[in-house]
């Protein structure tokens, strides 16, 4: 019979392998792997630039994140700094975004398929929330929300639908978000469902949302603007 220490060691190894298998981004195997964005080789992420050609600019961007941005018709603007803007982020599993909110503006319900997000309010007030997945009751699609003030921090777990809304009709708001992926991705729910190309069948959506097809046709005819830069 295997000793208890052997069983514990085996369990620890299984846990380690499972954690690595479910990690969002691959872990670095060297100090850095600056992305070669022009390489024809296709891998999960980007191949490494020759380290002898790496310089400080590979880890830098004059992003002007201290400057306000113009918001769109939903009243927000997301300025994301990921591996496409800073090649040195490749394999490091992190990115950052500035989010500007007009008065009564929102960053509409969306999800990041590859990242957890931690958000800090720099200016103003935000009403934020997320919805849990289709897990067994009583936690099925549970809505968790909070009113945030300047200096407050809130976490949105990876993959869950979430939003931010500026409830102030007179003052804008600003937040900074860090995300646990070099390329977190964003799926804005309304844009994806009603603005896909080509469109999803209105028969499918009418059945899914339990509404008349003319309601779906109206929604699909709208211009679903992207607020991510």
Binding site for oxalate: residue ranges? 107, 112, 117
- Tell me the backbone φ, ψ of residue 107, rounded to 5 degrees: -95, 100
Please state whether the peptide bond connecting residue 209 to the residue before it is cis, i.e. omega within 30 degrees of 0.
no
Residue in this structure with the two tokens 């310089």, named with its chain if needed: 55
User: Residues annotated in the binding site, as ranges?
Assistant: 107, 110, 112, 117, 162
Which burial class, exposed, middle or buried, applies to 7 when counting CB atoms under 10 A from its CB (0-12, 13-18, 19+)?
exposed
Neighbours of 158 (CB within 10 A): 16
Look-up of token digits 């009751």: 137
How, if at all, do strands 106-111 and 187-188 pair?
Answer: antiparallel
Enumerate the known binding-site residues for Mn(2+): 110, 112, 117, 162
């Amino acid at each position: 019979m295997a000793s208890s220490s052997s069983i514990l060691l085996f369990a620890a190894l299984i846990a380690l392998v499972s954690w690595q298998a479910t990690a969002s981004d691959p872990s670095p195997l060297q100090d850095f792997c600056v992305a070669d964005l022009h390489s024809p080789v296709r891998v999960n992420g980007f191949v490494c630039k020759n380290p002898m050609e790496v310089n400080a600019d590979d880890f830098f961007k004059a992003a002007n994140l201290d400057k306000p941005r113009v918001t769109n018709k939903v009243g927000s603007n997301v300025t994301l700094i990921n591996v496409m803007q800073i090649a040195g982020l490749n394999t490091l599993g992190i990115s950052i975004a500035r989010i500007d909110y007009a008065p009564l503006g929102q960053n509409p319900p969306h999800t990041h398929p590859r990242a957890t997000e931690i958000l800090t309010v720099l200016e103003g007030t935000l009403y934020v929330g997320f919805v849990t997945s289709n897990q067994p009751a009583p936690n099925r699609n549970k809505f968790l929300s909070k009113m945030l003030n300047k200096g407050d921090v809130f976490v949105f777990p990876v993959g869950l639908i979430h939003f931010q809304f500026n409830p102030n009709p007179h003052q804008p708001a600003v937040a900074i978000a860090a995300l646990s992926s070099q390329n977190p991705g964003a799926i804005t729910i309304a844009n994806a469902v009603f603005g896909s190309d080509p469109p999803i069948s209105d028969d499918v959506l009418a059945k899914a949302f339990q509404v008349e097809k003319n309601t779906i046709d109206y929604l699909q005819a709208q211009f679903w603007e992207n607020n991510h830069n």
